């Protein structure tokens, strides 16, 4: 027994001494930075460049407006694609209008209104292939686009960003998550945010998606920014006149016109503003408060449909569709909740409700009875975030493509066309 134990004792004594030389713990964190260097232009240079150019690939689709045979699609922070949709089975991308800092748009007749940072751009789109600038109003709203640490230079605007990816590796605990570096470069590893489309009040006004922040009712353009509702008189389309600003709430997200009401969605609820009597000065007539979340809202007059989704800066935890009864369009009460995956934009045509449900794609519901809606079809088309359903054609924006579906048979949607998004 002794003989057997001796080698073991020797082993215990000698081997650990040898092995301890190689004891070490390391931790590295890596972070992919995308550096954006601002490219400045004077206002006159920037205005001179706002015009039609040759069509460009869709890379980061944002909000959409449909008017007549044309689709106006925002390329986030860069401009607007104009797509001839005369034949929905074969849409033609015909031109691109460069508008730096553009997120939102609205169209009435031959005039397109768009934001460029905090400025309002008015364009003549009577010939969509040859768009021209009609008017440019500076600093009339709060820019939805962060300047990202870029220096503000008087008389200059940011016309674009030069992008450069960098991988930073450091020892753990060596720094924060986001930092500003190098002469106003913006530092982030995040993909650009995506945004989306609104509603409609006459055939002369473009139909937008539920996530629009611009809305036109008759001769007035209403825009919302983070906290305010701005009103412009557009009776003279060559020279829209800023009228006034009303503070709505913090974290305002969307605006949806219906009849003589504006439905404004914010992180914390939905607000109803009446345009009766004084469209230039909307008056708040009702509100519905919900748990904090991102929430586009639409309405059919009797009910408001609000989608709440988590997983964003809105900080909510709910993923649901709230249906709210509107009492005389002045007040609201919750009547039904449907749990969904990650609902975003939505659209209603008759009794059909179309909901973009994040990675679940597009869901089509029979909403003839809002207390008991029936799912008619689910289209797994990737990360869908807004839809416009009109005249039996559903235009769906996803992170991968712009789809058009024929829903004349709502239980069996038929793909008409798909314009793919260019992947970087």
Partner 1 sequence: MLLVLMTAVSQAQSRKLEFHSLNSVAITAGEGRATAAYETVNGFEFSTWFAGLGVGLDNYHFKSIPVFMDTRKYLGSKKLVFLFGNIGADCPAQKQAAKEFTYHDYYYFKPGFYADAGIGYRFPVIKKPLLVFSVSNSYKSMHARTGVYTECLIAPCPVTFKDYHYNFYRLMVRAGLMF
Q: Which residues pair with 352 in a beta bridge?
A: 349, 366
322 binds partner 1 (CB under 8 A): no
Among 54, 154, 247, 313, binds partner 1 (CB under 8 A): 313
Q: What residues from 253 to 292 belong to the interface with partner 1 (CB under 8 A)?
A: 253
Q: And the tokens for 408?
A: 């004349």
Is the Cβ of residue 65 or residue 275 nearer to partner 1 in the bound state?
A: 65
Question: Which stretch in 64-72, 130-138, 168-176, 368-376 sits in contact with partner 1 by CB under 8 A?
Answer: 168-176
Q: How far apart are CA 76 and CA 61, in angstroms?
A: 6
Q: How far apart are CA 292 and CA 202, in angstroms?
A: 33
32 binds partner 1 (CB under 8 A): yes
Quote the least distance from Cβ 385 to partner 1, whole Å.
Answer: 7
Q: How far apart are CA 247 and CA 397, in angstroms?
A: 30
Among 27, 328, 371, 422, binds partner 1 (CB under 8 A): 27
179 binds partner 1 (CB under 8 A): no
Q: And the tokens for 404?
A: 């058009």
Question: Which stretch in 150-158, 171-179, 277-285, 410-418 sits in contact with partner 1 by CB under 8 A?
Answer: 171-179
Surface-to-core class of residue 198, CB atoms within 10 Å of its CB (0-12 exposed, 13-18 middle, 19+ buried): buried
Is the Cβ of residue 59 or residue 238 nearer to partner 1 in the bound state?
A: 59
423 binds partner 1 (CB under 8 A): no
Question: Which stretch in 21-29, 109-117, 272-280, 404-412 sits in contact with partner 1 by CB under 8 A?
Answer: 21-29
Distances (CA, A) of 48 to 78, 119, 137: 15, 15, 14
Among 108, 157, 290, 344, binds partner 1 (CB under 8 A): 344
Quote the least distance from Cβ 199 to partner 1, whole Å.
Answer: 17
Q: How far apart are CA 337 and CA 411, in angstroms?
A: 22
Q: Tell me if 221 sits within 8 A of 113, measured CB to CB.
A: yes
Is the Cβ of residue 134 or residue 213 nearer to partner 1 in the bound state?
A: 213
Q: CB under 8 Å to 303, separation ≥6 — which residues?
A: 323, 324, 325, 326, 335, 370
Exposure on the CB side of residue 146, measured as CA atoms within 13 A: 11
191 binds partner 1 (CB under 8 A): yes
Q: CB under 8 Å to 203, separation ≥6 — which residues?
A: none
177 binds partner 1 (CB under 8 A): yes
311 binds partner 1 (CB under 8 A): yes
424 binds partner 1 (CB under 8 A): no
Quote the least distance from Cβ 296 to partner 1, whole Å.
Answer: 8
Among 2, 28, 152, 333, binds partner 1 (CB under 8 A): 28
29 binds partner 1 (CB under 8 A): yes
The size of the chain, in residues, is: 424
Question: Which stretch in 29-37, 109-117, 198-206, 362-370 sits in contact with partner 1 by CB under 8 A?
Answer: 29-37
C-alpha of 233 from chain center? 25
62 binds partner 1 (CB under 8 A): yes
Q: Rg of the Cα trace of the chain?
A: 26
196 binds partner 1 (CB under 8 A): yes
Is the Cβ of residue 225 or residue 320 nearer to partner 1 in the bound state?
A: 225
* DSSP-derived secondary structure for 121-180: EEEE-SSTTS-EEEEEE-S-S--SS--TTPPP-TTEEEEEEEEEEEEEEEETTS--S---
351 binds partner 1 (CB under 8 A): no
Chain residues in the site for partner 1 (CB under 8 A): 4-5, 7-8, 11-12, 15-16, 19-20, 22-32, 62, 103, 144, 172-173, 176-178, 188-196, 211, 213, 225-226, 253, 294, 309, 311-315, 344, 383, 385
């Amino acid at each position: 027994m002794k003989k057997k134990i001796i080698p073991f004792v020797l082993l215990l004594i000698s081997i650990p001494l040898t092995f301890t030389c190689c004891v070490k713990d390391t931790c590295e964190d890596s972070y992919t930075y995308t550096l954006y260097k601002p490219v400045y232009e004077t206002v006159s240079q920037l205005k001179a460049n706002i015009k039609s150019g040759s069509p460009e690939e869709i890379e980061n689709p944002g909000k959409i407006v449909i008017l007549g045979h044309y689709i106006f699609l925002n390329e986030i922070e860069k401009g607007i694609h104009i797509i001839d949709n005369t034949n929905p089975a074969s849409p033609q991308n015909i031109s691109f209008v460069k508008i730096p800092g553009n997120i939102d748009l609205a169209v009435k007749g031959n005039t397109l209104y768009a934001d460029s940072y905090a400025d309002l751009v008015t364009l003549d789109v009577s010939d969509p292939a040859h768009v021209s600038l009609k008017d440019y109003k500076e600093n009339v709203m709060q820019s939805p686009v962060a300047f990202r640490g870029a220096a503000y230079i008087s008389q200059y605007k940011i016309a674009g960003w030069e992008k450069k990816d960098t991988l930073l590796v450091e020892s753990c605990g060596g720094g924060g998550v986001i930092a500003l570096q190098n002469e106003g470069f913006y530092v982030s590893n995040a993909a650009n945010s995506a945004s989306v489309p609104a509603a409609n009040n006459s055939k002369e006004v473009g139909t937008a998606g539920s996530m629009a922040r611009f809305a036109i009712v008759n001769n007035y353009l209403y825009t919302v920014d983070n906290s305010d509702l701005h009103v412009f008189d557009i009776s003279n389309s060559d020279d829209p006149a800023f009228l006034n600003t009303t503070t709505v709430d913090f974290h305002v997200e969307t605006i949806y016109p219906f009849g003589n009401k504006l439905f404004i969605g914010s992180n914390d609820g939905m607000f109803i503003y009446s345009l009766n009597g004084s469209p230039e000065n909307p008056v708040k007539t009702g509100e519905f408060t919900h748990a904090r979340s991102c929430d586009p809202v639409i309405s059919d007059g009797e009910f408001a449909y609000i989608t709440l989704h988590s997983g964003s800066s809105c900080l909510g935890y709910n993923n649901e569709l709230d249906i709210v009864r509107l009492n005389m369009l002045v007040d609201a009460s919750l009547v039904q909740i449907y749990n969904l995956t990650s609902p975003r934009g939505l659209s209603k045509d008759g009794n059909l409700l179309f909901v973009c449900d994040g990675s679940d794609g597009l869901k089509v519901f029979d909403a003839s009875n809002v207390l008991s809606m029936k799912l008619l079809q689910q289209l797994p088309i990737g990360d869908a975030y807004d839809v416009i359903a009109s005249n039996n054609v559903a235009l769906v924006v996803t992170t991968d493509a712009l789809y058009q579906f024929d829903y004349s048979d709502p239980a069996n949607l038929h793909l008409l066309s798909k314009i793919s998004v260019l992947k970087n």
